[in-house]
Structure 1
Amino acid sequence: MKPRTQWHIVCNISDLVPDSGIAVWTSTGPVALFYLPDRLPALFAIGHFDPCSGADVLARGITGDIKGEPVVASPIYKQHFSLLTGQCLEDDSIRVPVFCALVDGDQVRLEIPVSSQGQQAA
């Protein structure tokens, strides 16, 4: 059963920097939001926490692609994380969460899980 979700405004489109990421705060913790204007879709959102280094740094990583798949390289140990799936390309056992993102007028929204009690998931 798919968890319930809600869409939340996290920033304005003017806050985004082309071909890089920013960190935004959500009820589930920090999320790395990437704007790649030459791709469709152009927005990607993954967890900001890098499980390899133990630090919230993924929004500061370098974006690119590997075999056509959009990725971010962690700024600490340089592992690549898929912006589509959150999978670490160097270690199949490591994955970060992925969030749906969209532009709504001038605002950027993320789809955030909601707990069964109606509260946003922590």
Structure 2
Amino acid sequence: MSQTFTPICSVDQILPNTGVAALVDGRHVAVFRVGSDKFHAIDNIDPRSGASVLSRGLIGNLGERTVVASPLYKNHFDLSTGECLEAPEQSVRAHAVQVQDGRVFVALN
């Protein structure tokens, strides 16, 4: 079964080292631009609070992992896997991202 990619926005609409929120097939997704050319997508709902806020978190590194810190409880989520480093049972799903012709697309996993 092939993935269906949904257009989110143009690359220029996501500033480097920030995220944006999108609704993909009814699911709240956070799309992040790391540096100038790396893109990641994870669920946007903070599992601890239930709020749709992960796209507003701070991007950084913990060891070799690129993470976002939830703005509410400061838990760190691996942008590649969605794993919550402090509480793995609160991990979120990671989604596939493609960039084509200056546009960002996401497919739910």
> TM over 0.5, yes or no?
yes
Work out whether residues 57 and 74 of structure 1, in 8 Å CA contact, stay in contact via their aligned partners in 2.
Answer: yes
Consecutive aligned runs of 4 or more in structure 1 exceeding 4 Å deviation: none
- 2:11 is aligned with what amino acid? I
Equivalent in 44, 48, 58 of residue 44 of structure 2? 48
Match of 2:30 in 1: 32
1:61 matched to 2:57? The reply is yes
Q: Deviations over 1:61-93 (max 9, x none)?
A: 000010110000000010000101101100121
Distance 2:58 2:47 in 1: 17
Give the unaligned 5+ runs of structure 1.
114-122
Equivalent in 1, 6, 10 of residue 8 of structure 2? 10
1:110 matched to 2:103? The reply is no
User: How far did residue 45 of structure 1 move?
Assistant: 0.3
Query: What's the TM-score, normalizing by structure 1?
Result: 0.83
Percent of aligned pairs sharing the same letter: 34
Distance 1:92 1:46 in 2: 15
Distance 2:44 2:88 in 1: 18
Query: What's the TM-score, normalizing by structure 2?
Result: 0.92
Distance 2:44 2:89 in 1: 18
* Structure of higher CA gyration radius: 1
- SS of 1:93's partner is helix
Work out whether residues 28 and 112 of structure 1, in 8 Å CA contact, stay in contact via their aligned partners in 2.
Answer: no
Match of 1:116 in 2: none
User: How far did residue 4 of structure 1 move?
Assistant: 4.7
RMSD: 1.5
The aligned length equals: 109
Give the unaligned 5+ runs of structure 2.
none
1:93 matched to 2:89? The reply is yes
Q: Deviations over 1:43-66 (max 9, x none)?
A: 000000000111000000000010
Distance 1:48 1:58 in 2: 5
Distance 2:2 2:54 in 1: 26
